[in-house]
């Protein structure tokens, strides 16, 4: 991994990045093997990260700590995409109020996609809400592929690497041919359908995406559906407001 040139900081970031990808946590030995950092150095860095509450330790396993949540919360609070998209997401929630579904705002972060806001209708089963993750490989989910389809193919290959690019490019071509709509079936949970549309201005790469996922939504899974049209208008409105609020 290419670093910033500040060795200790680079190593800390490698460790926390590995921990952010693991739900169960990692041992110091596992982290050393994944990062290539000497095990003794890993132990010393983890000790410092635990002190600053960026990492928690329990029974030999290390996980991200509450300090990481403070940083993430501060970032989310000032994130323009989240603030601007909220009223549009609420409007979409009202559009699908009679269906068990979830509306999410998705933000691309490197080769990952993160759901930064999520709201659901009253009929959505609790287990559907609780079981869904809020972060995915950008090429492995509906919203991520909606974003990737707005990138130039060469940029997608640089981001993902050749193997992942070759695997996903046919699906991105299909999204482009489908007017930008990305569809998914039973990807994160059996029986759950999803439709996503990118938040982008003109021909620029997407800044994010809106995604609606729900049960019994087969009729909505097409570009000509009423929900799809609502999503397109919402994403256009969000993009326009974001561009207007950006200093020139």
**Alpha-carbon distance 27 to 40, whole Å?**
13
In this prediction, what percent of the chain has a pLDDT beyond 90?
76
From-to residues of CATH 1.10.10.10 in the chain: 7-71
From-to residues of CATH 3.30.450.40 in the chain: 79-245
Q: Which residues pair with 114 in a beta bridge?
A: 107, 135
Residue 2: predicted pLDDT: 59
Domain 7-71 class, CATH top level: mainly alpha
The whole-angstrom distance between residue 210's C-alpha and the CA centroid of its chain comes to 11
Residue predicted with more confidence, 223 or 4: 223
In this prediction, what percent of the chain has a pLDDT beyond 70?
97
Read off the pLDDT band of 5 (50, 70, 90): low
Q: Which region among 71-80, 134-143, 172-181 has the lowest average model confidence (pLDDT)?
A: 71-80
Whether pTM exceeds 0.85: yes
Q: Mind listing the pLDDT tens digit for each residue in 150-200?
A: 999 999 999 999 999 999 999 999 999 999 999 999 887 788 899 999 999
Residue 223: predicted pLDDT: 93
Query: What is the number of other CB atoms lying within 10 angstroms of the CB of residue 10?
Result: 16
Helix 7-20 and helix 28-35, axial crossing angle in degrees, nearest 10: 110
Q: Which residues pair with 184 in a beta bridge?
A: 194
**Alpha-carbon distance 248 to 245, whole Å?**
9
Architecture of domain 79-245: 2-Layer Sandwich (3.30)
For the chain, how far is it from start to end, CA to CA, in angstroms?
A: 33
Is a pLDDT exceeding 60 seen at residue 103? yes
**Alpha-carbon distance 216 to 225, whole Å?**
14
Q: Which residues pair with 55 in a beta bridge?
A: 64
């Amino acid at each position: 991994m290419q670093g910033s040139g500040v060795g200790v900081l680079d190593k800390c970031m490698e460790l926390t990045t590995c921990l952010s990808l693991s739900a169960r946590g990692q041992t110091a030995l596992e982290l050393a093997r994944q990062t290539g950092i000497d095990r003794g150095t890993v132990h010393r860095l983890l000790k410092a990260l635990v002190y600053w509450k960026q990492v928690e330790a329990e029974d030999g396993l290390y996980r991200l700590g509450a300090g990481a949540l403070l940083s993430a919360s501060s970032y989310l609070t000032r994130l323009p995409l989240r603030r601007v998209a909220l009223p549009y997401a609420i409007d979409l929630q009202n559009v699908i109020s009679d269906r068990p579904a979830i509306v999410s705002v998705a933000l691309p972060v490197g080769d990952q996609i993160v759901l930064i806001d999520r709201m659901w209708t009253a009929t959505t089963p609790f287990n559907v809400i609780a079981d869904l993750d809020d972060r995915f490989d950008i090429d492995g989910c509906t919203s991520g592929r909606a974003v990737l389809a707005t990138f130039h193919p060469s940029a997608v290959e640089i981001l993902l690497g050749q193997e992942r690019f070759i695997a996903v490019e046919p699906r991105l071509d299909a999204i482009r041919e489908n007017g930008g709509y990305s569809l998914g079936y039973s990807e994160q949970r059996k029986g759950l359908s999803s439709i996503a549309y990118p938040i982008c201005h003109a021909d620029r790469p997407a800044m994010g995406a809106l995604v609606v996922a729900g049960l019994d939504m087969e009729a909505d899974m097409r570009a000509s559906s009423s929900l799809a049209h609502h999503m397109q208008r919402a994403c256009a409105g969000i993009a326009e407001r974001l561009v207007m609020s950006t200093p020139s």
